[in-house]
C-alpha cells in the first residue's frame, strides 16, 4: 500500500510568483484535502476535493486553487505569492463523502519559503 507522497519537499519562491505543489493520494482514497501549517501553528484547512470537484473550502483567498485528477492525485496552485504564504503545505487523503470520519492520512509536506 502506497502512502501519500508530495513534491517538491522544499522550494523557494519570490513574492509575486506562482507555485504548484503536487500530491499523490494513498491507494483506494478518493478525497484529497490541503492544509497550510505556518510556523508555530496548527494545520489550517485550505480546501477539499472529492471525485475531482472542490466540495469544501476554508478561509483562503481565490489565489489558492486546486485540481484533482481521475487517479485522485492533486495539485495546489498559489498565485501572486505573498511573504505570509511561507509555510508547510500538507496534503491528506481519505475515503470521502458522508462516510468521512475525519481520519486523514498526511504526506510529509512541501515547505514553501517566499522571499
Partner 1 sequence: DQQVKQNSPSLSVQEGRISILNCDYTNSMFDYFLWYKKYPAEGPTFLISISSIKDKNEDGRFTVFLNKSAKHLSLHIVPSQPGDSAVYFCAAFAPRGGGADGLTFGKGTHLIIQP
Neighbours of 100 (CB within 10 A): 14
Candidate residues 22, 29, 30, 45; the one interacting with partner 1 per rule CB under 8 A: 45
- Report phi then psi at 83, rounded to 5: -55, -40
CA proximity to 29, closest of 5, 56, 46, 58: 5
CA proximity to 89, closest of 113, 57, 112, 60: 112
Candidate residues 4, 32, 78, 87; the one interacting with partner 1 per rule CB under 8 A: 4
**Cβ of residue 33: shortest distance to partner 1, in angstroms?**
6
Q: Any contact of residue 56 with partner 1 (CB under 8 A)?
A: yes
What residues line the site for partner 1 (CB under 8 A)? Answer: 4, 31, 33, 35, 40-48, 50, 55-56, 58, 90, 92, 96-98, 100-109
Amino acid at each position: 500500500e502506497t502512502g501519500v507522497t508530495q513534491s517538491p519537499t522544499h522550494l523557494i519562491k519570490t513574492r509575486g510568483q506562482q507555485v504548484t505543489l503536487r500530491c499523490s493520494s494513498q491507494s483506494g482514497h478518493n478525497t484529497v484535502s490541503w492544509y497550510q501549517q505556518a510556523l508555530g501553528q496548527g494545520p489550517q484547512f485550505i480546501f477539499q476535493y472529492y471525485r475531482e470537484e472542490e466540495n469544501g473550502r476554508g478561509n483562503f483567498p481565490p489565489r489558492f486553487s486546486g485540481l484533482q485528477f481521475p487517479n485522485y492525485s492533486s495539485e495546489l496552485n498559489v498565485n501572486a505569492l505573498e511573504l505570509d504564504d511561507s509555510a508547510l503545505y500538507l496534503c491528506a487523503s481519505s475515503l470521502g463523502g458522508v462516510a468521512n470520519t475525519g481520519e486523514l492520512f498526511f504526506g510529509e509536506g512541501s515547505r514553501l519559503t517566499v522571499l
